[in-house]
Amino acid sequence: MNQHNLYRLIPLRRFLGLGTLGLFIASCIARRPDQPMPVQLLPAPQQAADSPLVIVLPGIGDDLLDLQDSGIAAAIQHAWPRADVLLTGATFGYYLHGGVGQRLHSEIILPTRLQRHREIWLTGASMGGMGTLLFERRFPAEASGLVLLAPYMGEPRLIRTIAAAGGPGQWNPGAPPASVNRKNYQTELWRVVHGWARQPETARNVWLAAGTRDRLLPAAKLMAPLLPAGHFLEMPGGHSWKVWTAAATEIFARIAPRSPDQVIRCQ
């Protein structure tokens, strides 16, 4: 990894507890973004003409194989047997080189929507939760709903600043930049959350979960008041797939009874 890219992700490395060596190794094994993003489709156990699609983004240091081993797909389909699940290899490299939201849109969202999926949910854990929000910023309401599992939301200093302002609704993110880069991406994550206060209807299909011992819990608690009642879950445990798969089972069990018409989001 070159020095520029290392500097760009130092805040993420510090907050998630990765050493410099671990970050270097993760970046070396990350698939470069000039290659197609690898995916694995797991068809719904109960196939239907209107089967929804749940797209899953991995956490930091994870790849497609790690997602396969995490149990997240089984957790989702246990709760929502009609759902197809698409695991993605949106690894570290796609964030290092930028454009993860655009790649998700052009390589995955658009093709699947053209095939048959009317209802598309996007979920991610840790770094994947961050990627989910970056996608939402770039393509507002393009996904039918978002499930954020302990999303990385920036450095503690920024979290404290937003809390001191009275929360994301009262905090002023300033004018939106022309593009997202290493200097502003953390602010842009919170700009999405700030928008939920201004337009609550855009958050009606957003769900959030974090472990009670997770270092990212303070940020999740700042986000929670802007979500509908019952859309924030505190699960026993820390920053792990064990916590996130349990949360996914509970969240998607609540989502499953809804009809597609109930999940259309306002743009």
pLDDT along the chain (267 residues), means of 10: 33 44 42 77 93 95 93 98 96 80 92 84 98 96 97 97 98 94 94 98 98 98 98 98 98 88 53
Domain boundaries, the chain: 3-263
Give the pLDDT confidence score for residue 106 in this predicted structure.
Answer: 92
- Whether pTM > 0.85 for this model: the answer is yes
Per-residue pLDDT, 5: 34
CA dist 213 → 99, 154, 188, 239 (Å):
32, 18, 26, 7
Tally Cβ neighbours within 10 Å of residue 259.
9
Nearest to 166 by CA among 225, 108, 207: 225
DSSP 214: -
CB distance 42 to 85 below 8 Å: yes
CATH 3.40.50.1820 correct for 3-263: yes
